[in-house]
Structure 1
Amino acid sequence: MKKVILILFVFIASLFFSKISLSQQYTVGVSPPIIDLGDVNRGETKSVKFYIVSPSNEEMLVHLIQYPDNLDFVRAYNFGAIVNYSEEDVSSWIKYFSNPVLLKPQPQPLQTPIGKITNWREISFLLSLPNNAEPGYHSFGIQPEPEFVGQAGGQVGVGIIAVTKVNVIFRVPGEAIRSGEIIDALGEGNKVRIFFKNTGTVTMKVIASGEIYYNNKTYSFSSARETVRSNELKEIVAFVSEPLEGNLDSKITVDYTSDKLEKKMVINFVKKPTQVQKPIDLTFLIYIILAIVIILVARWIYEKS
């Protein structure tokens, strides 16, 4: 609790100092910056609230932008939670009462640890867990993105010097296991196909990388981040710099943040099949030409007669 109050204190203090030094730029923050809901059961709905605040006296239309991938926050807030963390998409679990919202000075100021703020707005949303929610820690972020509302009611650009997001974390009861297995790998030209199975109980985001050894050269590869659900066998694709052929020694690594797997294996690279161009079907064109010829002949006969 002390840590949360300290974070809030530093952030709101920065808002007031920004107000003194900036004329046409605005800061928008959240209070509190961290919401820890503790355990939330499957099928349960929770009403959650926080505040958006600003030292500006101007009205702003604020859009609430959701960030489902919040692993960096979890790593900083509670590193131990990583080993029991689910990366399933929770965006459909959240329902806002209003979005966007109008942020404007209020007649009753909001009391904060360092003073009162007049430009604030309470934000409420519902978090509804489905009955099949995965076990373990879940997290997401909500960031306010404001637009300045002019006197005529229109929206114009605004320089935002600082925008922070609220981070929400909660835990679904149950055994959350993050584990996986590299099943196989195949090569096709310059393409590497890695087959990874999620053997745990939660969704994970993984990156496959590695090295191929051929003719005293090392070819490195790295894939994009892929989402793999529990018990799913996923094909992950990466590329090396040039086509390879033959049975080649390799080392493959699959990183899923809480741990990583390494496997040495021989990958069979086959030559990429060449695209055989199909002959152009001229049947339709021939019919068109014949039709034109018949019409021209018929017209010539009609004119002669």
Structure 2
Amino acid sequence: MFSRIWTKKSTNDCSGPIDTLRQVLNHTDAVVIGAGSGLSTSAGFTYDGERFKQYFADFAAKYCIRDMYSGGFYPYSSLEEHWAYWSRYIYINRYQDAPKPVYQGLFSLVKDKDYFVLTTNVDHCFQKAGFDKKRLFYTQGDYGLFQCSEPCCRETFDNESTIRQMVEAQGYQIMPDGSLSVPESTTLKTKIPSELVPYCPHCGRPMSMNLRADDTFAEDEGWHRAAERYREFLRRHEGQNILFLELGVGYNTPVIIKYPFWRMTAKNLNAFYACINQGQAVCPPEIQRQSVCIHGDIGAVIAQL
């Protein structure tokens, strides 16, 4: 349907596109937010650099791991070490708040609108910022959930209590504000006690994270209810003034947010597509007249809106 030649519509001066987006936001009937990892990056959830060194210096020295993402795929020799790494990873990216209030700023823009969120992010930032749980569809899972690694069932399990125990067993103290502290003279452990390793209560196999990486991803009842609510939202607003607001979506999984947003905009002359992205703010020529693309930091643009 779309030409292979994309038109990048961002310029160094974003004032015009931002003004246009502000007007669309003020007059639209509904907003569909499509959020990718770039949104959480803007909020301060970076997976490398100083933040990685702060929490994983011991793993980095031991295994030459350079960022959190690659460390999640390292073939650790034991489940005790695997979950030591992952419990830190989950805690700081799911149970700690993002360093910057980008999600809160976004919520202030749409809270009085009829909105829905479709996201590939798994860090729970939308719900913590005040977004209605029934208006969220986390397509790729949730850092806060375990599932059977087989999986023998499509059930998921809340992991907050277990993750906190794992983190504390490594030597961390969880402070009242949720931050992690290492007591003086404490050497962090890179393994957890064997009794904390999670196993499926049904079949006894090891648990895994509820993250879509292959065909073992468990789409539980909550996932299917959210998918149906999203479909119903789109049916209810078909043909109406609707803003498809894409934030920080790359090209790892464009078929989930980016391409559907383009198609739905093209089919509805009353629809408008807005893309805010650092370096990848583009749209196809077919919807150029119904679009704005803003190259810049999402948090900074939201603040201007």
Classify the TM-score, shorter chain. Answer: under 0.3
**RCO higher in 1 or 2 (8 Å CA, sep ≥ 6)?**
2
**TM-score (normalizing by structure 2):** 0.23
More helix by share: 2
Q: Which has the larger radius of gyration?
A: 1
More strand by share: 1
**TM-score (normalizing by structure 1):** 0.23
